[in-house]
């Protein structure tokens, strides 16, 4: 019974980290708040792998995971961004941008739960990746102006609900014999991240941003291809007249 509860405990830990990130951002500790979101991503990737390794997958775990993800990767990152960057723009624009991000995240999670995706791919940018990008991007507020932060937030929101295919790395499992190493890996990662919160957060931003941009590039390619086909169809219709 205890073994079957381990994945859900990881999910609850993910939720707790999201709440801690919110509290830290409200106390102006943005670097550490971003680190809490990153560690929550680690726990989010761990709970599913543990559930599969322990044969402990359940509907309860699935729903709990979605609710935790909405807090840790939908609400916490936008509160960090709002607190650190959006405070100096039009209040209405700031509120609208802040509402759109978690709303799109909620739609993304709901769609994931009810629609079967393409094997090996996610449909739309996963909310942990979007939240990770947003939380770490906020730390560049001195280098990136607020309008670009708003645009980035809206782009990430769109990518979550888009039909763009993103590679799914969650299916990479953990051997059952290696499960005992997972807590130590998490502890080491947390210690290093807490010791160097600003550096680690900005370093992790790079691969997360590249992952998100992959889908943005794919979306532009799809739109270009679709427009090209439409132009070809229109040209063929014109030639038949």
User: Long-range CB contacts (< 8 A, 24+ apart) of 58-63?
Assistant: 58/4, 60/8, 61/7, 61/8, 61/11, 62/113, 63/113
Least confident piece of the model among 103-117, 131-145, 171-185: 171-185
Calculate the average pLDDT of the chain. 82
Give percent of the chain with pLDDT exceeding 90.
36
pLDDT band at residue 241 using 50, 70 and 90 as cut-offs: low
**209 contact partners, CB below 8 Å, separation of at least 6:** 133, 137
**3-state secondary structure at position 166:** strand
pTM metric for this prediction:
0.82
**Residue 160 pLDDT exceeds 90:** yes
Question: What was the pLDDT predicted at 61?
Answer: 78
DSSP 176: G
Looking at residues 74-82, what average pLDDT do you find?
A: 95
Average pLDDT over residues 64-92: 92
Query: What mean pLDDT comes out for the span 85-108?
Result: 92
* Banded pLDDT at 238 (limits 50, 70, 90): low
pLDDT band at 89 (very low <50, low <70, confident <90, very high): confident
Is residue 12's pLDDT more than 60? yes
Q: Which domains does the chain have, with CATH numbers?
A: 2-240 (1.20.120)
Contact 101, 74 (CB under 8 A): yes
Does residue 181 surpass a pLDDT of 70?
no
Per-residue pLDDT, 220: 76
Tell me: pLDDT of 158 over 60: yes
Residue 141 has pLDDT above 90, yes or no: no
Q: Provide the b/e sequence for 100-127 (b: ≥16 CB within 10 Å).
A: bbbebbbebbeebeeeeeeeeebbbbbb
């Amino acid at each position: 019974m205890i073994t079957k509860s381990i994945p859900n405990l990881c999910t609850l830990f993910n939720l707790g980290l999201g709440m801690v990130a919110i509290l830290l951002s409200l106390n102006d500790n943005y670097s550490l708040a971003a680190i809490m979101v990153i560690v929550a991503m680690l726990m989010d990737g761990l709970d599913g792998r543990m559930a599969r390794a322990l044969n402990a997958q359940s509907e309860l775990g699935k729903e709990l995971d979605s609710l935790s993800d909405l807090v840790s990767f939908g609400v916490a990152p936008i509160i960090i961004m709002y607190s650190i960057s959006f405070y100096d723009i039009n209040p209405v624009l700031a509120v609208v941008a802040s509402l759109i991000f978690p709303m799109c995240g909620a739609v993304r999670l709901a769609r994931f739960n009810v629609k079967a995706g393409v094997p090996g791919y996610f449909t739309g940018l996963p909310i942990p990746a979007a939240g990770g990008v947003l939380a770490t991007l906020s730390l560049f507020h001195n280098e990136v102006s607020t309008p670009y932060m708003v645009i980035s937030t809206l782009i990430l929101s769109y990518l979550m609900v888009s039909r763009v295919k993103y590679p799914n790395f969650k299916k990479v499992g953990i051997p059952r014999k290696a499960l005992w190493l997972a807590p130590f890996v998490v502890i080491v990662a947390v210690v290093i991240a807490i010791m160097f919160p600003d550096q680690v957060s900005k370093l992790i931003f790079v691969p997360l941003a590249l992952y998100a941009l992959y889908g943005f590039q794919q979306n532009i390619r799809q739109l270009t291809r679709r427009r090209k086909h439409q132009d070809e169809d229109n040209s063929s219709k014109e030639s038949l007249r």
